[in-house]
Amino acid sequence: MNARERRRSGGARPPSFRERSGSARPAPNASAKRRGGPGESASAGDISGKERSPTRREVKAQTQEVLATGVQTLQVDPDEAGMRVDRFLVARFPQLAFTHIQRIVRKGELRVDGKRAKPQERLETGQKIRIPPLRLEPQKVAARSAARDQDERGFLKSIALYEDKDVLILNKPAGLAVQGGPGTKRHVDGLLEALRDEDGQKPRLVHRLDKDTAGCLIVAKTRFAAVALGKTFRSRAARKIYWAVVAGVPRVRQGRVSTYLAKEEIGDKDARMRVAEHGDEGASHALTYYAVVETAAQKLAWLSLKPVTGRTHQLRAHAAHIGHPIVGDPKYFNVENWELPGGLQNKLHLLARRIVIPHPRTGRPIDVTAPLPPHMEQSFNLLGFDAARYDPIVEAPEA
């Protein structure tokens, strides 16, 4: 199913799953965009609060300073508010290696309003960023054929569940990685290269899904949307529902799983997560609500899950923690002497089923639902599960 969902809703408050949400038709952007470059300095506002253009004398002085020292001062635009300082530099200087950006921040060479910047510091509109001399290399762009771009645009369009000028929500297939890595050549982030606009801006990933998890994946098409949606996820205003098929049937039909999770191997991005104690190195609190929707005897259960936090492998680790790992999970399935029922494929049975987010411009809810991936649809048919059945997880708390 690749129909784009557009519904209407009146409220601008953070949406709950019970609301009938609607089309988030973007309103015209009232904020004027400015771009900083070498030698550009923030102009002061006049007494009325309106920005004035720098005088010829000021421009000349700024240009001479940049030529003499290589130092430049940039001002944070409204659509850059909330960005981390290192991501600000990535956006402004795409030719600059991220390792070099990290190095100049770590050494204290970058200043925000005259103070040393911290890597995780988030910027505010109007702040002045002093940039040290940079050695910018010409950006190397891999040769891309028009035919390849057309094919990849066509593929992205075929899996789009929702799209407007700011937001794109994809139905990510199981098995397609979100980002690249060793041995991973085809991934969503790479496919988004085909959607670069006339200014060279590429749509940005807002969150992640595991490679083998199917379903709703949000992409920001503009920098404004990326910043706004990033804040939405950090504030936990995004409402998410996942579906899973698990081994066995939980004794408690509706429950709450609250643990601390930490990576087994610190520094390994793909490490297995373990249940940890508060205070353990790298441990973060993780909270999940779940509900049993249907069962197949006592062999299998269809769970609906609502993650409040968004830790790595959270749902997979929590399902295993309560003794009911997700079918087809190569990392966390730990039931001894358990055999996969005939007809079911040994693939991860986890779907990012539904997501509700406030639109970055209007605040109106965007409510999108992903269909079952082929292997889960096959399992549902064999087990007699009805995807149209009422989902009790909508009654679970939001926090």
Q: Which residues are known catalytic residues?
A: 210
List, in order, residues 6 or more apart from 183 with CB less than 8 Å away: none
| Residue 86 DSSP one-character state | H
**Dist. CA 56–CA 58, nearest whole Å:** 5
**Dist. CA 374–CA 380, nearest whole Å:** 10
Coil/strand/helix, residue 227: helix
**Dist. CA 338–CA 298, nearest whole Å:** 13
N-to-C CA span, the chain: 31
Instruction: Report whether 392 contacts 254 (CB < 8 A).
Output: yes
Give ∠ CA 147-153-159 in degrees, rounded to 5. Answer: 140
**Dist. CA 222–CA 181, nearest whole Å:** 25
**Dist. CA 123–CA 129, nearest whole Å:** 9
| Residue 181 DSSP one-character state | B
Q: What are phi and psi of 362, to 5 degrees?
A: -95, -20
| Residue 43 DSSP one-character state | P
Query: By C-alpha distance, which of 198, 192, 199, 201 is closest to 163?
Result: 192
Provide the token pair at 167: 């937001």
Measure CA 67 to chain center: 39
Burial 212-224 (b: 16+ CB within 10 A, else e): bbbbbbbbbbbbb
HSE, side-chain direction, 13 A CA sphere, residue 34? 16
Amino acid at 98: F
Measure CA 17 to chain center: 19
